Amino acid sequence: MAGQITPWPDTVSGYISGHLTRYTVGDEVDGSFTWALHLDTLLVSWALAALGFYTLIKISMRAQSKNPSKLQVACELLLTFFDKQVRDLFPNAPPIVGPLAITIFVWVVLMNSMDVLPVDSITTTGYLATGSVPHFKLLSTADLSLTLALALSVFAMTFYYNIKVKGIGGFLHEVATAPFGAKMAPVNILLRCVEEIAKPLSLSMRLFGNLFAAEIIFLLIASLSFAGGAAFLGQWVFGAPWAIYHILVVPLQAYIFSVLAVVYLAMAHETH
């Protein structure tokens, strides 16, 4: 689907599949996995990270205990909220856990919030600017590559803490014996494998699924008023209620992701 498509195609399926196509760089291969780079995911996530974390750093470096600015108070609210969450879920957490949770939350909230922009924003802007309709998805969290990247990072950390806290021998012993005892070792190992695979998968699939589904609903809403150029106008009006509802989903999904990451890390720290 690379290259140019006609602006606002006549069929709903063409409209939707056009919007689901990513801006990729590199050779496509057959299969559900590819080495081609999703440049739109990367660029949007980097831009939002730069915006969000530059602001955070700037405020934090200028933080003062007396007479704080309103932005600083907002950041402190975020910080103390996650500090409390981490304290409750994971007592004696290593110092990386709190920053990890905040990073996930802030980044994912920023990327998720791209969802409330009208689905044709980039398409129309690109068309007006260059005369062609680009395949560019604003919603980075509807890309499994990104959500799985976050989940796999968390998974790697749980693996690291499992071995750090219990030792390799202790960890393997736990894998073989929990929960049914040494006699049922194969079952235990199988269950543990499923559990360990399920953690990053559920983490990434939950975020991806929510945002992907939301995006498709936005596209369907936009196609309700599908008649030539009217999709762009219609999605402002009909998409608004779904976008307003989505304001709830955006921080909720980010919160679930970051708190589950803390929970998984806490589980890695405790012995069965």
Partner 1 sequence: MKRLYWLLAVVLLLPASAMAAEGGLKLLSFTTLIGEIITFAILVWVVMKYVWPPLMNAIENRQKEIADGLAAAERGHQELADADQTKATILSEARSKGSDMVADSKQRGDAIIDAARQEAENEKARIIEQGQRDLDAERVAMHRAMEEKLGSLIISGAEQILRREVDTKTHQDIIDSMKKAV
Please choose, from the candidates 30, 28, 220, 232, the residue with its C-alpha nearest in 3D space to the C-alpha of residue 121.
Answer: 232
Contacts from 82-86 at CB under 8 Å and sequence distance 24+?
82/258, 85/259, 85/262, 86/262
- CB count within 10 Å of CB 131 equals 9
Question: Cβ neighbours of residue 82 under 8 Å, at least 6 residues apart?
Answer: 98, 101, 102, 105, 258
CB of 240 to partner 1, least distance (A): 29
Output 100 or 259, the one with its CB closest to partner 1: 100
Active site residue 210: yes
Distances (CA, A) of 56 to 40, 100, 231: 24, 14, 37
Q: Residue 9 in contact with residue 227, Cβ under 8 Å?
A: no
DSSP letters for 56-77: HHHHHHT--SSS--HHHHHHHH
Binding mask 17-46 for partner 1 (x = CB under 8 A): ---x-x-x-x-x-xxxxxxxxx--xx--xx
Q: Given 202, 204, 223, 258, which residue is catalytic?
A: 202
Please choose, from the candidates 41, 243, 207, the residue with its C-alpha nearest in 3D space to the C-alpha of residue 109.
Answer: 207
| DSSP β-ladder status, 24-25 and 37-38 | antiparallel
Active site residue 22: no
Q: What does the block give as tokens for 75?
A: 């950041």
CB of 4 to partner 1, least distance (A): 18
3-class DSSP assignment, residue 267: helix
Binding mask 56-95 for partner 1 (x = CB under 8 A): xx-xxx-xxxx-x---x--xx--xx--x-----------x
Output 36 or 247, the one with its CB closest to partner 1: 36
Q: Which stretch binds partner 1 (CB under 8 A): 5-13, 100-108, 126-134, 167-175?
A: 100-108
Q: Does residue 132 bind partner 1 (CB under 8 A)?
A: no
Q: Does residue 201 bind partner 1 (CB under 8 A)?
A: yes
Active site residue 132: no
Binders of partner 1: how many residues, by CB under 8 A? 61
Q: Does residue 148 bind partner 1 (CB under 8 A)?
A: yes
Output 140 or 223, the one with its CB closest to partner 1: 140
Q: Residue 226 in contact with residue 184, Cβ under 8 Å?
A: no
CB of 56 to partner 1, least distance (A): 5
Q: Given 112, 162, 188, 210, which residue is catalytic?
A: 210
CB of 268 to partner 1, least distance (A): 16
Q: Given 145, 153, 206, 225, which residue is catalytic?
A: 206
Q: Residue 112 in contact with residue 254, Cβ under 8 Å?
A: yes
Q: Can you give the binding site for partner 1, defined by CB under 8 A?
A: 20, 22, 24, 26, 28, 30-38, 41-42, 45-46, 49, 53, 56-57, 59-61, 63-66, 68, 72, 75-76, 79-80, 83, 95-96, 98-100, 102-103, 107, 143-146, 148-150, 152-153, 191, 194-195, 197-198, 201-202, 205
Which amino acids are annotated catalytic? 202, 206, 210
